[in-house]
């Protein structure tokens, strides 16, 4: 079956936060996958794209430590500040800091918070390109039993979502990073006003995000985890978009949307085994823009998370082009639900907590 997707230019401007200060956070050996080159190259691809004229670039805003304390505990903030004061070293087996990390991460998390406010005021989408990333960082650091921080320091996506809550908006978080956004889920575990939909590869770091993890007392059903087997690709992701995500959106009626955009779910990423391509990222972006253009969504912020290969460059470019209405493509796919027991378990959650009767079987 051939599907045609056309996007009309209805968004005239995308605000992008890119700040060269991110380059000061680095492992001097150059061997760590989370390094300055990844975001620098992705930004360079945007600069060379046909949508560049519709992008307004901003630097980071000043740090606001009161906003930082809305997301992380004082003890964790102090821990990071003290560790950074010691200079370059690893604070766990995969996460490093140096003397500039606290300054950089504080500015990016503050910027993420205020980007939501600016999006609400202007009705324009924002994209934040932070380093270090954030969605594995919970309120107290390592989250939900994860052994490490997974390259992350402060949770930018949580800050963007918190700003939407503070503005009185029902808030949707969609996280399509290949790794479960355990930090974000930890922070909003007991918050029913945040619907967090997380699509991730099963069986990999951080080892969290089972379908049965549905939220804390009073927030049951607000956390939708969709762990997917290796090699899951566009047919399954687009099926989930049509049959799970869009119906949930219709019931929840979000007024603010945060997308944790991790492009390590791309087929070209060297660290994971998912087979997503630009089609999925484009479809997700256009879905949210449709809601914004209709006036349902009043604030839309995308936070860059993972992505460690050429898939980041291709995926982010496609995602941005779709926000701005510049993509038109056709694909020959038969959409299908994902393999495994996840489909039956997910069906139960949707029925019990959302009243959605959706068949998730072949």
The pair phi, psi for residue 270, each rounded to 5°, is -80, -10
Q: What is the pLDDT of residue 327?
A: 67
| DSSP conformational letter for 242 | I
Distance CA 218, CA 176 (A): 25
Residue 134 lies in a domain: yes
Residues 111-121 have pLDDT tens digits of 999 999 999 99
CATH assignment of the domain containing 109: 3.40.800.20
Q: What percent of the chain has pLDDT over 70?
A: 94
How many domains are there within the chain?
Answer: 1
Task: Please state, as a whole number, how many other Cβ atoms lie within 10 Å of the Cβ of residue 357.
Answer: 9
Residue 208 lies in a domain: yes
Average pLDDT value for residue range 78-107: 99
Residue 9: exposed, middle, or buried by beta-carbon count in 10 A (0-12, 13-18, 19+)?
Answer: exposed
Residue 306 lies in a domain: yes
Residue 10 lies in a domain: yes
Residue 235 lies in a domain: yes
Residue 83 lies in a domain: yes
Planar angle of CA 225, 1, 328, nearest 5 degrees: 80
- Asked whether the predicted pLDDT for residue 228 surpasses 50, the reply is yes
Structure-token pair, residue 27: 């492992």
pTM for the predicted model, two decimal places: 0.96
Burial profile 255-288: b = 16 or more Cβ within 10 angstroms, e = fewer = bbbbbbbbbbbbbbbebbebbbbbbbbbbbbbbb
The whole domain housing 262 covers 2-354
Residue 62 lies in a domain: yes
Residue 46: exposed, middle, or buried by beta-carbon count in 10 A (0-12, 13-18, 19+)?
Answer: buried
Q: What is the pLDDT of residue 9?
A: 46
The pair phi, psi for residue 204, each rounded to 5°, is -120, 175
Confidence of residue 12 (pLDDT cuts 50, 70, 90): confident
Q: What is the pLDDT of residue 359?
A: 67
Structure-token pair, residue 32: 């760590």
3-state secondary structure of 339: coil
21-30, 33-42, 277-286, 325-334: range with lowest mean pLDDT: 325-334
Task: Please state, as a whole number, how many other Cβ atoms lie within 10 Å of the Cβ of residue 2.
Answer: 7
Distance CA 286, CA 279 (A): 11
Q: What is the pLDDT of residue 6?
A: 47
Average pLDDT value for residue range 21-40: 98
Q: What is the pLDDT of residue 357?
A: 85
- Reference 131, options 163, 153, 146, 111; nearest CA is 153
Average pLDDT value for residue range 288-308: 97
Residue 360 lies in a domain: no
């Amino acid at each position: 079956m051939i599907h045609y997707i056309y996007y009309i230019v209805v968004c005239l401007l995308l605000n992008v936060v890119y700040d060269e200060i991110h380059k000061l956070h680095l492992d001097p050996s150059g061997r760590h996958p989370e390094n300055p080159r990844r975001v620098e190259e992705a930004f360079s691809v945007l600069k060379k794209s046909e949508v560049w004229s519709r992008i307004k670039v901003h630097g980071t805003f000043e740090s606001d430590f009161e906003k930082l304390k809305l997301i992380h505990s004082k003890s964790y903030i102090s821990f990071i500040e003290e560790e950074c004061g010691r200079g370059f070293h690893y604070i766990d087996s995969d996460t490093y800091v140096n003397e500039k990390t606290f300054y950089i991460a504080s500015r990016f998390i503050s910027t993420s918070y205020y980007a939501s406010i600016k999006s609400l005021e202007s009705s324009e989408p924002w994209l934040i390109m932070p380093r270090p990333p954030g969605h594995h960082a919970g309120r107290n650091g390592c989250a939900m039993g994860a052994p490490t921080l997974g390259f992350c320091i402060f949770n930018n996506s949580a800050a963007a979502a918190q700003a939407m809550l503070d503005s009185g908006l029902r808030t949707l978080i969609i996280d399509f990073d290949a790794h479960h956004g355990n930090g974000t889920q930890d922070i909003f575990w007991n918050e029913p006003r945040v619907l967090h939909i997380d699509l991730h590869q099963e069986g990999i770091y951080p080892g969290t995000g089972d379908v049965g993890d549905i939220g804390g007392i009073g927030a049951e059903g607000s956390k939708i985890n969709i762990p997917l087997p290796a090699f899951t690709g566009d047919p399954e992701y687009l099926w989930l978009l049509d049959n799970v995500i869009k119906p949930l959106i219709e019931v929840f009626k979000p007024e603010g949307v945060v997308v944790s955009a991790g492009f390590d779910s791309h087929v070209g990423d060297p660290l994971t085994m998912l087979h997503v391509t630009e089609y999925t990222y484009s479809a997700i972006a256009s879905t949210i823009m449709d809601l914004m253009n209709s006036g349902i969504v009043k604030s839309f912020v995308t936070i860059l998370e993972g992505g460690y290969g050429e898939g980041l460059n291709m995926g982010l470019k496609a995602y941005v082009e779709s926000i701005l209405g510049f993509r038109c493509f056709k694909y020959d796919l038969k959409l299908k639900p994902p393999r495994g027991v996840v489909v039956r378990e997910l069906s139960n959650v949707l029925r019990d907590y959302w009243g959605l009767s959706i068949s998730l079987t072949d």
